Chains A and B, each alone.
Chain A
Amino acid sequence: NAGVTQTPKFRILKIGQSMTLQCTQDMNHNYMYWYRQDPGMGLKLIYYSVGAGITDKGEVPNGYNVSRSTTEDFPLRLELAAPSQTSVYFCASRFTDGYNEQFFGPGTRLTVL
């Protein structure tokens, strides 16, 4: 199993540009999450999904959109990039019910200039 994979690893965007951060997991996990980590801070939840076709907002959803058309994929879309979105983005997944470890991807480092 590859686990949780994210692409790209790094990206520099200009203000106003758009991009999609890709996340794929091959563990057949129902739940998937997007977090952002600002310098010197903990992770904050952007969006999450409890299964294909179902998504919901986390703590910091403004400026982002998500979709979940398959169990494996959970892309995060930035429509109009702003400098405040400069961050490291982590995708995670887990099984449902009770305690289940949340597995994290390696992250995407995004800079908006």
Chain B
Amino acid sequence: GEDVEQSLFLSVREGDSSVINCTYTDSSSTYLYWYKQEPGAGLQLLTYIFSNMDMKQDQRLTVLLNKKDKHLSLRIADTQTGDSAIYFCAESSGNTGKLIFGQGTTLQVKP
């Protein structure tokens, strides 16, 4: 079945760039997403990319998609302590909109 994999932990210094990586197996993925989860909270959609795009930029966020390698990355420029959270990669395909999530990457931002 479909699978989404992420590294579990990333630690960066405030002001540095963070890059969170994700791989997926479903070649029919239509949309790929990045969600943010703060402690004790629900999921907040950060950004998404359509599968026929290579890159999407949204303020401090840059998403890169390598469809051949089924690799997705999220770059956060000028990382702030408020960016500390768990980041989930997810993919969907078909009409039902079902999301398949990775395990989440905990981003720790040190002052």
Asked if A42 and B102 make an inter-chain contact with CB atoms under 8 angstroms apart, the answer reads yes
**Cβ < 8 Å to B, chain A residues 81-113:** 90, 94, 96-97, 99-102, 104-107
Are A102 and B42 in contact (CB-based, < 8 A)?
no
CB closest residue in chain A, given B4:
A42
* Residue B77 at the chain A interface, CB threshold 8 Å: no
Q: How many residues of B contact A (CB 8 A)?
A: 22
Verify A90–B43 contact, CB threshold 8 A: yes
B42 A48 Cβ-Cβ under 8 A: no
CB-CB under 8 A from B95, the residues of chain A are: 96-97
Are A94 and B97 within 8 A (Cβ)? Answer: yes
Within 8 Å CB of B97, what residues of A? Answer: 31, 33, 94, 96, 100, 102
Q: Which A30-47 residues have C-beta < 8 A from chain B?
A: 31, 33, 35, 40-45
State whether A45 touches B42 (Cβ < 8 A).
Answer: no
CB neighbours of A33 from chain B (8 A): 97-99
Interface string of A35-75 (1 = CB under 8 A from B): 10000111111001010000010110000000000000000
Known pairs A50-B96, A99-B48; A104 contacts B42 (CB<8 A): yes
CB neighbours of B41 from chain A (8 A):
106-107
Contacts of A90 in B (CB 8 A): 42-43
CA distance A31 to B41 in the complex (A): 22
Would you call A40 and B103 a contact (CB within 8 A)?
yes
What residue in chain A is nearest B92 (Cβ atoms)? A102
Q: Are A42 and B88 in contact (CB under 8 A)?
A: yes
17 contacts between A and B (CB under 8 A): A31-B97, A33-B97, A33-B98, A33-B99, A35-B101, A41-B103, A42-B4, A42-B104, A43-B43, A48-B96, A56-B96, A58-B98, A101-B45, A102-B45, A104-B43, A105-B42, A107-B42
Binding site for B on A (CB under 8 A): 31, 33, 35, 40-45, 48, 50, 56, 58-59, 90, 94, 96-97, 99-102, 104-107
Q: Other CB < 8 Å A-B pairs besides A40-B103, A48-B98, A50-B96, 13 of them? A: A35-B99, A42-B4, A42-B88, A43-B43, A43-B99, A45-B100, A59-B1, A96-B97, A99-B31, A101-B48, A104-B43, A104-B44, A105-B42
